[in-house]
Structure 1
Amino acid sequence: MSIVLDNPVAVRRAAMDLLARREHGRVELARKLRKRGAADDLIETALECLAQEGLLSESRYLESFVSYRARAGYGPLRIREELTQRGLPRADIEQALCDSGIDWREQLEATWRRKYAGQLPGDARERAQQGRFLSYRGYPLDLIGRLLRGIDID
């Protein structure tokens, strides 16, 4: 039996259940509540209250998301795109990426070492393959090029 989200208490409870599992952005949380059948006016009221109480925080969500995706081996370009698709403001995303304190060059090298065991490409085909993989992961092309030419390797 599904819960009917037709009053402020039910909407707040559903929002808190979602927030208890992990951090959410305001847009993402509103979308999930709307999908569960909550009215827009009830959603906005509930989200405003949660934000005022400090239970819903865009900055905390951004910090958590950037950290999680970076640990999974993704670069700043991919993370930026994923957050943009989730409806977060570009300026907030840029600030979160800067505040993360992540050394993207080091992160790139760790991802490359995990995937290719630290073996520089032997020919153009291998270089292109490794470059495509790292580019897909969201690392800047200039860093990829330096890495694959052996400039940044210990």
Structure 2
Amino acid sequence: MARERLSLKARALMWLAQREHSRTELRRKLLAAARKEQKEREAQRALAGEAPDAAGCADPERCVDQLLAWLEANRYLSEARFVESRINARAARYGNLRIRQELAQHGVTADAATQQQLRESELQRAQDVWRRKFGEPAGDPKERARQMRFLVQRGFSPEVVRRVVRDTDDIA
């Protein structure tokens, strides 16, 4: 028995039920699915010797954009919720630079209040990440550099990284 294909709307709702998506990310996924469906429909009709399909969506981009507009109008898709969920998922492990960069990849930005909260909590978050990974001050300059590189790669600002490593050196 052939598996019934989900409509674009059903796919979008399924993906949104799993987790929040940005408009850009969801558009990319839906366009890929719409184009694949269109090619398969055209191939099936060509094999059957039928005329091109007038049913379905002739222009996948237009159909996907209309669907995204409907999803936003009905509050299934919300960039504010996406930003909030992405920040909540990443804040405990990453610094502001990494979080901002990831949001930019999705074509969104955090509001000013959220950015301020992240700035205010960055030192504490960096200390928590350092403590989970290392737990004890560096014994030599090579180890100190390794700890600093780790925190920088996690997206913490150089100033915060210096403070975290310097403060842990003062403990020893």
TM bracket (short chain): 0.7 to 0.9
Map of 1:41 onto structure 2: 62
Scaled by the length of structure 1, what TM-score is found? 0.83
Normalising by structure 2, we get a TM-score of: 0.75
- 1:61 to 2:75 alignment: no
Q: Is 2:85 the partner of 1:82?
A: no
Tell me the SS of whatever aligns to 1:139: coil
Q: How does 1:4-153 map to 2 (within 5 A)?
A: 10-38=7-35, 39-71=60-92, 73-88=93-108, 92-93=109-110, 95=112, 96-98=114-116, 103-117=121-135, 119-150=136-167
Structure 2 unaligned spans of 5+:
36-59
State the percentage of identical aligned residues: 35
**What whole-Å deviation, never above 9, does each CA across 1:79-102 have from its counterpart, x for those lacking one?**
1111212222xxx33534335687
Moved more, 144-153 or 22-31: 144-153
Which one has the largest radius of gyration?
2
The one-character-per-residue Cα deviations of 1:107-139 (angstroms, maximum 9, x if unpaired) are 10000000001x111221111100000000010
* Count of paired positions: 144
Alignment match, 1:3: 5
Q: Secondary structure at the match of 2:167?
A: coil
What CA deviation, in whole Å up to 9, does each residue of 1:48-107 have, x standing for no partner?
A: 111111111001100100110113x1111111111212222xxx3353433568711111
8 Å CA contact 1:147, 1:153 repeated in 2? no
- Check 1:75–1:18 CA distance in 2 against 1; reply closer, same or farther (3 A cut): same
Summarize the Cα distance change of 1:99–1:115 in structure 2 as closer, same or farther, 3 Å threshold: closer
